[in-house]
Structure formats: structure tokens, C-alpha cells
A and B are shown apart, each in its own frame.
Chain A
Amino acid sequence: MAVATTESPLEKALPPPGGSSWRSRRARWDLKFSPYAFVSPFFVLFAAFGLYPLIWTAWTSLHKVELENPDQSSWVGLKNYTDLLTDHNFWNAFRNTFQMGVLSTVPQLLMALGLAHLLNYKLRGRTFWRVAVLSPFATSVAAATLVFAQLFGRDYGFINWVLHFFGIHNIDFQNGTWSAQIAISVIVTWRWTGYNALIYLAAMQAIPGELYESAAMDGANRWQQFRHVTIPGLRPTIVFTIVVSTIGASQLFGEPLLFSGGGSNPEMGGVNRQFQTLSMYFYERGFTDQHLGRAAAIAWAMFLMIVLFVLINTLLARRTRSAK
């Protein structure tokens, strides 16, 4: 506590450098190496189970490798990648992933924004509302999907029963293209809207009240305050949720897999691959067809798409900020 005024108090707290006793040497060693020891579990485990697989995948994507004999591989260069360009199943999966990404992310984030605004009022039972709205977050992909698959059932499904009051009759959600994709997007939206609402709520509470006061004094009504004070204040958070949701959406797997209701090839995403995502196609290539090289190429293509998207998003966010 005595030397708290210096720039780096921790170094100052060292025993005097002159003393070369065993005790002070041990203290110096401790100061020098302990930080590395403390961060090493993360990096050791990451190297083994994160980095090594990553490099292996990059290497494998340039080879022809089969799952039953992974040690035997033959160099094919970029063939696995160029094959993807003419593979209509790949483009189908790409389109489906994109469509379901938009169908789930856009309504999800818009609703979360509105919900956060409501939760930001002074409410009776504040905690109850927050916890209740977040409750879908506690379910698993598998549990949620099985329940919704039943609710979306063709003949006895609850949702078709509700829809018939509006004059809409027995939609076969699972076998249509749009209907299946909408149903899957509903599951994703149901699970994540409350979570995103809380993220927005946290950011809303960090906006200083004076900004609203001065906006009100300038004659801004509530909608104008929301548009010109709340939304700009949330911009970094909004960009963040868009990026995170998109990364999540690009890896969509469990919901469509289980929505197909089993069968022999659930990873096909419906009989006509009408809701097969890139993750499912990756799984089909790697584990059903056992072509590891092709699966690896799909994985890297997915990664490149995500990086590209994050870059575009960051650029757009920067541009809108500088345009202001």
C-alpha cells in the first residue's frame, strides 16, 4: 500500500534487487514465471484441442482422405475447393443457411430491441420479467426442437390448430421449403430473443439520462428520442449482436437436424434437402460419405464467409459512424 503512487506498483513491490538470498530470488522467479503458468492451461488445452485440429483441417482440405483410413491421404491441391464451386448441394446448403440466417436474425434482433425498451421502464416485478423472458435460453437445442417439431406437426400440431382460426389449413411445415425454414427460424428466434433483449437492456441503461433530457427540451417526442438517442447509443451493441447472431446462424445445425424427425439421413435436411445447412452438409460429407478432405474444404469455406461477413460489418459500422 505504501508505494501506490508509482506507475507500476507491482514491480515496485519487489524485494530489493541487491538481496540475492534464496528468498528474494524465488520471489523474482515467481514474479517472472507465474503469469505464464497461470495462462498456460488455456493455451496448452487450446493448442491441443483447438489449434492442432485447425491446422490439420487446413492441411486435409488439400488432400483426398477417407474416414476409414485417415492416415492415408493423397495430395489434390485446391480440387476440394474448386469442386465446391460446381457442387449444387453446396450452393443449396449455402442458400438455405443464408435464408434461415436472415429469417431468424432479423426478427429476433428487432423484437429484442423492442422488448429491451419495454423492460427498461420502471416495472413491478422487474426481476420476474427478465428471468421469464430469458427462460427459453435455459433449454437445449434438442429439447426445444423436439417440442416445436410437435407444435409444428401437420395433422395434430398446435400451430396448425391455431392457424385454422385464421382460415389457414394444415400446412405441412416439414416438407415445404419455406414453411420448414420459417419453422426452424421460429425455434432459433424463440431461444435467443430474450437473451439479446438483456444485452440491449444493459446497454440502454448505460445511456446517460441527460441525453434524453436535452432531446426532450429540443422538443423531440418519444419516437424521436428512441431514434436519435437510444439507437445511436446502442450502435456498438447492435453491431456486436449482429455479428454474434450471424456467426451462430452460419453454424446452424441442431435445429434443422432434429426438425427432420429422424429417418435414415437426418443430416440431409428433409427429403429434398430443403433445409440442409452448411453445417449439416459438412457433417454429411465428413461422417456419412466419409470424405474428410471435402468436409474440411466446406469447413474452411464457412470460416472464410464468417471472416468476410465480420469485415464487411465492421467496415459498414465504421462508415455509418463517420458519416454522422
Chain B
Amino acid sequence: MATVIPTTAPGRPPRRGRRSGVNMAGKQMHGSKLTYVILSVVVLISIFPFYWTILAASTSNTEINKVPPNWLPGGNLFKNFRAALDNVDMGKALLNSLIVSGCVAAGTVLFATLAGFAFAKLRFRFRNVLLGLTIGTMMVPYQLGIVPLFLLMTKLGWSDHLEAVIFPTLVSAFGVFFMRQYLLNALPDELVEAGRVDGASSLRIFISVVLPIARPAMAVLGMLTFMASWNDFFWPIVVLTSDNPTVQVAIDNLGSGYVPDESIIMAGTLLGTLPVLAVFVLLGRQIVGGIMQGAVKG
């Protein structure tokens, strides 16, 4: 629920080496100077808010409101970090988010790989119907379920507990579809069949044949799910309170007036963004690849 993960697009299979920025001879053209200038402007706009967050988080409230602004970070970063940690228990929020996003990513990847394997390579009755149903669930807006889900959590005694944000997002239709598409091509029928001939059970084949082959796609799905779960907003603020927040709930509390100091708000925002930004900087290439791969395979 409320997971904003990319969905796949209908499209053609990729043909490597054929690019649309091509000249008469069908060769890909180099970008002109203007291309680089425009791209640089776009990149500046993309990263400017990050830079602004750092600027604001490292100054004091009075300096932040100077016009024109200071272009260099100030020296109050750690003081503001500490204030944010004290004000809304950002430390607990970070730990909570780590637990939630870790569980959701692990669960989504495991269940999606299992189901994706079944849909891609195993024969069973109602397979296409069930696959259609799975994809159909992606169209349902999450608001439809929020109220009963909230009541359900109250009945289970899970409201304000992390279970309430973990369990409803533990499976994702997108994930199932993503893994199916990947395994359809990446896992040769012959390998599954060879396992059968050797007398291996389906589970055995899953563990020793499917998992090693699926690893790259599992990594991409894991990262995307982790990011989406970390950034999830609507459902956590409905079911969690400021006593046991995830990072997004804590940031929401920072922003809704509990903390009057804007540089502390920005310090908290920065704390909440840094982990996922670090993932992004380290694994950006794979994330980009995963999104593009998900986009083309239809």
C-alpha cells in the first residue's frame, strides 16, 4: 500500500546498439555543446534543493532568512542534528525506518521471486487468471483500504506498532510482475527441467537454481522497495504516532510546528534523507538500470 514504485511499461524488447539519436548512417550522434549546457541546468535544478537543505541545516534560524542567502554552509550542522534528534526522537525514527524498510524489502523480494518463478516457469491451473488478478491489484488506489486497515490494526493491537506498517506492504504486485518478466528470459527452461530429472523438488530448484540466477533482479527490486518503503508517507502518518515514528512521520512532526526553528527542521529532513541518498549515490547506476529495464520489458 502506498508504495510509489515504478511500474513497467508496455514496450518492445530492447535492441542493443540501436539508438534514436542517430544520423543518416544509423550511427548514434554525439551531444552538442548545447546538449551539455541544458543537461547541466537540469542537473543543477535537480540537486539544488539538496544543497539548500545542507545550507539551511548548517546555519542558524536567523541566517537562513537572510536575503540574499549565504552560499556556503555554516558551522551549526552538528548542533542542529543534535537538536533534531532531541526534538522528535529522530534516532528512534531512523532505527524504526531501517527495520521497516529492511523487512519490507526482504519480504517483497522473497515473495516476489517465489511467485514470479511460479508465474514464469511453472504450469498450473488458473495461472493466467491469477497473474491478471495480481496486475489488476495495482490499479486500486490505496485510499480505498486505509480506513478498514486502520480499524484492523486497532483490533490486532498493532496501531502505533511497526507491524502495522510492515505487513500491509510485505507483498507487491509490481514486484511479482517484475520478477516474472526477468525470470521469463533469464532462467532457461532446460535448467528447471534438469533439476526435475535429478529428482529435485520445486523448492530445491528454487533455492539452488532460481535464486542464483535471479540475484541481479532481486537486488534492483530490493533497492527500489527499500527506497519506496523508506519514503512512504500516507499510511505511516495514519497508523503511527510521534511516540513510535518512522522517519517520514518524524519529518512530518518537524514540519507541522512542533519545532519552530527552520534550520532544525532542515537538519532533521537532511538526517532522514541521507541514508536513502547514500544508497542512491552508491548504487545509482543499478537503480537507473533497473528502472530502465522495468520500463522496456513488457
Taking beta carbons and an 8 Å cutoff, which residues of A are in contact with B? Answer: 1-4, 8-15, 23, 26-27, 30-32, 34-36, 38-39, 41-43, 45-46, 48-50, 52-54, 56-57, 60, 70, 115, 117-124, 127, 129-151, 155-156, 158, 161, 190, 194-195, 198-199, 201-210, 212-213, 216-217, 229-230, 233, 236-237, 240-241, 244, 247-248, 250-251, 253-254, 258, 261-263, 266, 279, 282-283, 286-287, 292, 295-296, 298-300, 302-303, 306-307, 310
Q: Could you say which residues of chain A place their CB within 8 Å of the CB of B127?
A: 35
Q: Could you say which residues of chain B place their CB within 8 Å of the CB of A229?
A: 20
Partner of B202, one of A2, A38, A121, A248: A38
How distant is A74 from chain B, measured CB to nearest CB, in Å?
17
Q: Which residue of A lies closest to B238 (CB)?
A: A287
Q: Is the interface of A mostly helix, strand, loop or mixed?
A: helix
Question: How many chain B residues touch the partner (CB < 8 A)?
Answer: 126
Q: Could you say which residues of chain A place their CB within 8 Å of the CB of B28?
A: 121-122
Q: Could you say which residues of chain B place their CB within 8 Å of the CB of A195?
A: 6, 291
* Structural contact, B288 and A131, CB atoms closer than 8 A: yes
Complex CA distance for A209 and B21, rounded to whole angstroms = 9
Complex CA distance for A155 and B145, rounded to whole angstroms = 41
Complex CA distance for A49 and B153, rounded to whole angstroms = 10
- With known contacts A35-B123, A142-B272, A205-B14, A127–B288 Cβ distance under 8 A: yes
* Structural contact, A258 and B189, CB atoms closer than 8 A: no
How distant is B223 from chain A, measured CB to nearest CB, in Å?
10
* Structural contact, B252 and A34, CB atoms closer than 8 A: no
B103 contacts the other chain (Cβ, under 8 Å)? Answer: no
B244 contacts the other chain (Cβ, under 8 Å)? Answer: no
Q: Could you say which residues of chain A place their CB within 8 Å of the CB of B114?
A: 38-39, 41
What number of A-B contacts does a CB cutoff of 8 Å give? 380
Q: Could you say which residues of chain A place their CB within 8 Å of the CB of B83?
A: none
Q: Could you say which residues of chain A place their CB within 8 Å of the CB of B284?
A: 127, 130-131, 134-135
* Structural contact, A49 and B168, CB atoms closer than 8 A: yes
Q: Could you say which residues of chain A place their CB within 8 Å of the CB of B68?
A: 161
How distant is A43 from chain B, measured CB to nearest CB, in Å?
7
How distant is A218 from chain B, measured CB to nearest CB, in Å?
11
Q: Which residue of A lies closest to B131 (CB)?
A: A39
Q: Could you say which residues of chain A place their CB within 8 Å of the CB of B20?
A: 117, 120, 204-205, 207, 209, 212, 229-230, 233
Interface centre among B19, B255, B273, B281 (most CB of A within 10 A): B255
Partner of B4, one of A35, A41, A248: A248
Q: Which residue of A lies closest to B16 (CB)?
A: A205
B212 contacts the other chain (Cβ, under 8 Å)? Answer: no
